Amino acid sequence: MAESSVAGAVREDRLWQRHADMAKLGGTPKGGVNRQALSAEDAAARNLLGTWAKTRGFATFTDAIGNLFVRREGTDAKAQPVLSGSHMDSQPTGGRFDGMYGVLAAFEALEALEDAGVKTRRPVMAVAWTNEEGSRFQPGAMGSAVFAGHNKLDEMLQAKDWKGVVLKDALAETLKAAPAPRHEGPPGFPLDFYVEAHIEQGPRLENEKKTIGVVTAIQGSRRYIVSTTGEEAHAGTTPRAARKDAFRAALQIATAMYEATNDGGDTLRFTIGRVDVSPGSPNTVPGKAVFTIDMRHPDEAVLEAHEAKLAAIVAARAAPCSAGIERVTAVAPTIFDPRVIDLVRTKANALKLANMDMPSGAGHDAMHIARLCPTGMIFVPCERGVSHNEAENATPQDLAAGARVLAEVLAELANR
Q: Which residues bind Mn ion (CB under 5 A)?
A: 98-99
Nearest approach in angstroms of CB 143 to ligand HGY is: 12
- Helix H, strand E, coil C: the string for 347-373 is HHHHCCCCEEEEEECCCCCHHHHCCCC
> Should residue 133 be labelled a site residue for ligand HGY when binding is judged by CB under 6 A?
yes
Is the Cβ of residue 41 or residue 133 nearer to ligand HGY in the bound state?
133
Spatial CA neighbour of 141 closest among 68, 100, 86? 86
Is the Cβ of residue 188 or residue 361 nearer to ligand HGY in the bound state?
361
Residue 213 site contact among Mn ion, ligand HGY, none (CB < 5 to 8 Å, cut-off depends on kind): none
Cα 230 to chain center, whole Å?
35
Total binding residues toward ligand HGY, as defined by CB under 6 A: 5
Exposed, middle or buried, 383 (CB in 10 Å: 0-12/13-18/19+)? middle
Nearest approach in angstroms of CB 38 to ligand HGY is: 16
Nearest approach in angstroms of CB 29 to ligand HGY is: 23
Spatial CA neighbour of 67 closest among 129, 149, 136? 129
Q: Any idea what DSSP says for residue 63? A: -
User: 179 and 359 in contact (C-beta within 8 Å)?
Assistant: no
Spatial CA neighbour of 9 closest among 412, 400, 413? 400
Is the Cβ of residue 42 or residue 132 nearer to ligand HGY in the bound state?
132
Buried b (16+ CB within 10 A) or exposed e, 83-106: bbbbbbbbbbbbbbbbbbbbbbbb
Is the Cβ of residue 96 or residue 317 nearer to ligand HGY in the bound state?
96
Is the Cβ of residue 132 or residue 192 nearer to ligand HGY in the bound state?
132
Is the Cβ of residue 135 or residue 174 nearer to ligand HGY in the bound state?
135
Nearest approach in angstroms of CB 91 to ligand HGY is: 8
CB neighbour list of residue 255: distance below 8 Å, 6 or more residues apart = none
Among 202, 286, 363, 402, binds ligand HGY (CB under 6 A): 363
Nearest approach in angstroms of CB 351 to ligand HGY is: 27
Residue 140 site contact among Mn ion, ligand HGY, none (CB < 5 to 8 Å, cut-off depends on kind): ligand HGY
Nearest approach in angstroms of CB 99 to ligand HGY is: 8
Alpha-helical (H) ranges within 116-245 are 142-147, 153-157, 167-177, 204-207
Nearest approach in angstroms of CB 133 to ligand HGY is: 5
How would you classify residue 148: left for phi > 0, otherwise alpha for psi between -120 and 50, otherwise beta? alpha
Among 362, 378, 400, 405, binds ligand HGY (CB under 6 A): 362
Nearest approach in angstroms of CB 132 to ligand HGY is: 6
User: 136 and 39 in contact (C-beta within 8 Å)?
Assistant: yes
- Of residues 136-175, those binding ligand HGY (CB under 6 A): 140
One-letter amino acid of 406: L
Using the contact rule CB under 6 A, the part of the chain among 33-41, 119-127, 132-140, 243-251 near ligand HGY is 132-140
CA 384 to each of CA 42, 206, 373: distance values in angstroms, whole numbers, following the listed order = 27, 7, 33
- DSSP reduced 3-state for 309: helix
CB neighbour list of residue 385: distance below 8 Å, 6 or more residues apart = 200, 201, 202, 203, 204, 206
Is the Cβ of residue 97 or residue 107 nearer to ligand HGY in the bound state?
97
- The residue number whose beta carbon is nearest to Mn ion equals 99
Is the Cβ of residue 92 or residue 186 nearer to Mn ion in the bound state?
92
Among 89, 132, 196, 392, binds ligand HGY (CB under 6 A): 132
Nearest approach in angstroms of CB 122 to Mn ion is: 26
Is the Cβ of residue 180 or residue 199 nearer to ligand HGY in the bound state?
199
Nearest approach in angstroms of CB 213 to Mn ion is: 14
Residue 363 site contact among Mn ion, ligand HGY, none (CB < 5 to 8 Å, cut-off depends on kind): ligand HGY
- Quote the CA–CA distance of 238 and 233 in Å, as a whole number: 7
Is the Cβ of residue 74 or residue 402 nearer to Mn ion in the bound state?
402
> Should residue 392 be labelled a site residue for ligand HGY when binding is judged by CB under 6 A?
no
The β-bridge partners of 193 are 82
Alpha-helical (H) ranges within 78-131 are 100-115
**Site of interaction with ligand HGY (CB under 6 A):** 132-133, 140, 362-363
